[in-house]
Structure 1
Amino acid sequence: MAGKKVLIVYAHQEPRSFSGALKTAAERELSRQGCVVTVSDLYAMDFEPRATRQDIVGDLSTPEYFSYGVEVYEAYKKGSLSSDILAEQRKVREADLVIFQFPLYWVSVPAILKGWMDRVLCQGFAFDFPDFYDSGFLKNKRALLSLTTGGTADMYAKSGAIGDIRYFLWPIQHGVLHFCGFEVLAPQISFAPATASEEERKVMAAAWAQRLKTIWKEEPVDCSPEGCFGQ
C-alpha cells in the first residue's frame, strides 16, 4: 500500500541473527509496496530501557515525592519529556503499522523492548483514563508481534512442555498494545530458528515476506481474555 508508514521496533543485538533477517525481509517487502519504513534498532541506538527522573526535562510537578507515572504524564502535557522519548513517540504517531521484532526472552520481550514500552507508551500519549482499550489514543493503528523462540512449536502447544504460547503473548497483545488502542494482528512466530536447517530458516523468512504482501487486508484478532482463553 503505497504511502503507508511502518515502524519496526527491532530488539536484537546481532544484525546477522534470524531476527535481523526477518527485520530485513520486512523492510524489503514493505518498501517494495511503496510503504515508508522506519526502523528503531534499539541495541544499535543504545536505547535507555530504565524509566528514571532523567525522562523529565526541567522541574518536577511534585518534587517532594517522585512518582514516575505522574511526572511523565505532566511532562508529556507540557512537552518536557526527554528527547529520545519524544523521537520514538513521533515515529509511533506517524505509523499506520508498528511491527515489534524480537526473540522471546523468558516468555516475554527483551528488557530493552520492555523499557521502550515503559517509556514511550506513557499516559497522555498512548492512553488516558477512561481512554484505553478500544478508545486508547493509538486506535486506528495496527500492531504486530514478530518473534522467534528457542523452543520448537510443539513445546508451545497447549499440552507442550512450556505451555500455550497464547498465555505468554496475551499480556503484551492485550495488556499493552490493545490497552493503548492498537488493532492487534495475529503474531508471526518463527519457532526455534537456531536449531532449524538453513532451508527451514529460508522457508520461515519467505513465509513472513509472503504474509506481508497482504498484511493490509488482514483483520485484527480478538486479543481480549474471552477471545484468547475462551477457545
Structure 2
Amino acid sequence: MTTTTPQPCKKILVVSAHPEPRSLNAALTTFAVEHLRAAGHEVRVSDLYAMKWKSAVDADDFPDHAGDRRLHVMAASERATLAGRLSPDVAAEQEKVRWSDAVILQFPLWWFSVPAILKGWIDRVFTSGFGYGPALPPPYGEGSALAGRRALLSVTAGARESSFSDRGIHGRLTDVLHPVQHGLFWFTGMAPLEPFAAYGSNDLSAERFAAAKREYGRRLDGLFTDEPVPFRSLVGGDYDHDMRLLPGVEAPGANGLELHVRPRG
C-alpha cells in the first residue's frame, strides 16, 4: 500500500478583477479559493471591484509628499515605502504580497492586457523599495525583491484558442502576457508558471466550464511543483553590461521574446 505525502500548507493571494459577481472570472476565483483551501492552504482574496480599488497613482499614495513639490513617482514611492508611510490601502496590499507564497491574478483579457483596475493595483502596489529599486537586489532573477514566490495568471478570453497560437491573428498568448509574466513577476523575482486560459469565454457551455475547472484544478495542484517559465536571470551571465543578450546563447532559430527564455531540456 502506498501513501501520498501531503503538500505543506502554503499561503496564496488571489487578486480578482471583474466588475460582475456572476461572471466567469468570479466563478473561477471562487473555484480556486475553495480548491486551494480544500488542499489545506491559506488563501486571501483581493476582489478589486468589490474593494472599489483606486486605480490611479497620485500624490495621495504618499501622505508625506509636500503639495508644492514636483511629484517624482519613483522617488516619492521609494521614500514612502522605506519609511512605512504609504497610503493604508497600498500598504495593506503589500502586506498580502509579503505574506504570500504564491500570487494568482484572475482577470479577463481586455484589449490584449489586464483591466485598468488591475493595472492600477500593479502600479500602486509594486512601488520602488518594495518590488524594485536601487535599495533592493537587481531585477530579473531568483535573488530579486520578491523572490521565493510562485505566480500564476488565470485569464479568460472571448476568442478561440487557435487565434492565440503561433500563426493566430492575435499572436501567441505567451507574447501577449509577456509584460505581466516577465515585466512584473520575473522582474520582481517571482517565478511565473505557464498561464491558465479559458477561451471562448463569452459563450461557455456547462460542459466546457466543467472541463475548464478540471484543468484549472490540475494547474492549482501544481502551483508549487510545476516547473516555472525558465526566464533568463539578469545576473546569470547571459546579458552584457547594457542588458543585451549576448550573441550565441540562444537556441538556433530563437527570436523575439523567446530569446529571454532559456532552452528547455
* TM, length-normalised to structure 2: 0.82
Contact 2:157–2:199, Cα closer than 8 Å, also in 1: yes
* Preserved contact between residue 230 and residue 262 of structure 2 (Cα < 8 Å): no
Alignment partner, residue 32 of structure 2: 26
Select which of 59, 70, 85 maps to 1:65. 70
1:192 aligned residue: 200
Kept after mapping to 2: 8 A contact 1:155/1:162: yes
Paired residue for 2:105? 100
* 3-state secondary structure, aligned to 1:46: coil
| Corresponding letter in the other structure for 1:180 | T
Write out per-residue CA displacement over residues 163-209 of structure 1, whole angstroms, 9 at most, x where no aligned residue.
21222111111011100110111100111122232211111122101
Percent sequence identity over aligned pairs = 37
Distance 1:209 1:195, change over 3 A: same
Aligned mates of 1:58, 1:227 — CA distance in 2: 39
Name the stretch that deviates more: 3-12 or 156-165: 156-165
Summarize the alignment of residues 65-214 of structure 1 with structure 2, pairs less than 5 Å apart: 65-129=70-134, 131-134=138-141, 135-214=143-222
In the aligned structure 2, how far is the partner of 1:214 from the partner of 1:166? 19
Higher RCO, 1 or 2 (CA under 8 Å, sep at least 6)? 1
* Unmatched segments (≥5 aa) in structure 1: none
How far apart are the structure 1 equivalents of 2:222 and 2:64?
46
- How many equivalent residue pairs? 230
Distance 1:229 1:17, change over 3 A: farther
Q: Is the 8 A contact 2:150 2:223 kept in 1?
A: no
In the alignment, the residues of structure 2 paired with residue 12 and residue 150 of structure 1 have an alpha-carbon distance, to the nearest angstrom, of: 14
Residue 13 of structure 2 aligns to a residue whose secondary structure is: strand
Pair 43,15 (structure 1): closer, same or farther in 2 beyond 3 Å: same
What residue in structure 1 maps to residue 46 of structure 2? 40
Q: Give distance in 1, aligned partners of 2:15 and 2:216.
A: 16
The alpha carbon displacement at 1:210 in A equals: 2.6
1:110 CA drift (Å): 0.4
Structure 2 spans left out of the alignment, 5+ residues: 1-6, 233-256
Q: Which deviates more, 215-224 or 68-77? A: 215-224
From the CA coordinates, give the structure whose radius of gyration is larger: 2
Counterpart position of 1:55 = 61
Partner of 1:14: 20
Provide the C-alpha distance between the structure 2 equivalents of 1:122 and 1:185, rounded to a whole number of angstroms.
Answer: 23
Q: Matched residue of 1:133: which SS?
A: coil
Residues 132 and 150 of structure 1, relative CA distance in 2, 3 Å threshold: same
Q: Which amino acid in structure 2 is aligned with residue 8 of structure 1?
A: V
| CA deviation map 1:19-46 (0-9, x unaligned) | 1111111111110111110000000000
